Structure 1
Amino acid sequence: MPKTLFQKIVFTIIMATIMVYGMVVYNVALNTGGVTNQTFLLALHELPIMVPVAFILEFFVVEKLATRLAFTFMCPTDRPQFTTYAISLMIICIMCPIMSLVATLLFKEPSFGTWAHTFGCNLPMAFFWQMFYCGPLSRLIFRTLFKKQLAAQNIPAQGQK
């Protein structure tokens, strides 16, 4: 979807913020024994740390690697929607263990067992949150923000079809 560097930066910021917030809410709920109004406020405290980490990882490392991995089983001629799903799946497979490690090191008692437990709890949630909520919402926000630019980029050059 994003075509320019600026659009890629904005899209990654949107995606990282929504994804991290959802996952932090989930982890706070796990740690406090349930979801209350306070859960959503407590999750805001980790955002200034976790969103930049997620952005840097995603923008500079994971997106390129995930795209390469996705195209090991997808073809450029496949439906763009399925290509998007494949790349999203690969991003989840890479980001979830890394972000679980970061969260374990920063907010928990660091150990392999704690990381494995955190990763094991986070992976199913990360999959469903990304595929059904975060991804579609991020793309909707992005398309809304860049409606005019995206429409202009999709107009073929004069004389071309």
Structure 2
Amino acid sequence: MPKTKAQKILFSVLMSFVMVYGMEVYNSAILHRGLTNALFLLPMGEVLILMAVVMGLETFIGGPLARRLAFGLIDPSKDRPIAVILAIQIMTVCIMCPIMSLVATIAFKGGLDPQAAAIWVQTVAINFPMALCWQLFIAGPLVRRIVGYSLSPHTNKKML
């Protein structure tokens, strides 16, 4: 887990990039009715803007609320570090997926038209399973590996 301000910033930037990029490729594949090699480059135009949105929303809303909810389920001083990480990851997706689906609904799917609520609910339903799997199995482990976080709460040594 990030300990210093610099680690938190690096972790946030990398996690935002991996999540935004993965979800943008996923949504592009849905929009184009299948994944092609070209779709891996398509989201690059929107990634930086969406990263800034994700980082701001996660910093001020998603992160604090996710930790509060996670720590209502588990005790970080008593539970295993992996349980703490998984609880935070799951709660973060539970909060950020609906928020970012609302952003996508407004920005990319017709704005605030009369069908916006239905479009938002559908967007959450389509994105949530992928966001959760992407976070738990790809983004979380990848970013922790890149940054070198150990699962031990008592050490900040790099993972092997």
- TM-score when scaled to structure 1? 0.87
Query: What whole-Å deviation, never above 9, does each CA across 1:22-74 have from its counterpart, x for those lacking one?
Result: 00000000011110011111111210221100011112221111111001110
Counterpart in 2 of 1:132? 137
Describe how 1:36-115 pairs up with structure 2 within 5 A: 36-76=36-76, 77-110=78-111, 111-115=116-120
Q: Structure 2: how far apart are the matches of 1:56 and 1:131?
A: 21
Give structure 1 regions of 4+ aligned residues with deviation exceeding 4 angstroms: none
1:139 CA displacement: 0.4
CA RMSD of aligned residues (A): 1.6
Structure 2 spans left out of the alignment, 5+ residues: 150-154
Counterpart in 1 of 2:10? 10
Contact 1:21 1:47 in 2 (8 A): yes
Q: Structure 2: how far apart are the matches of 1:105 and 1:49?
A: 14
Q: How many residues align?
A: 148
Which of residues 151, 155, 161 is equivalent to 2:157? 151
Q: Structure 2: how far apart are the matches of 1:6 and 1:59?
A: 14
1:113 CA displacement: 1.3
Structure 1 spans left out of the alignment, 5+ residues: 153-161
1:150 CA displacement: 3.4
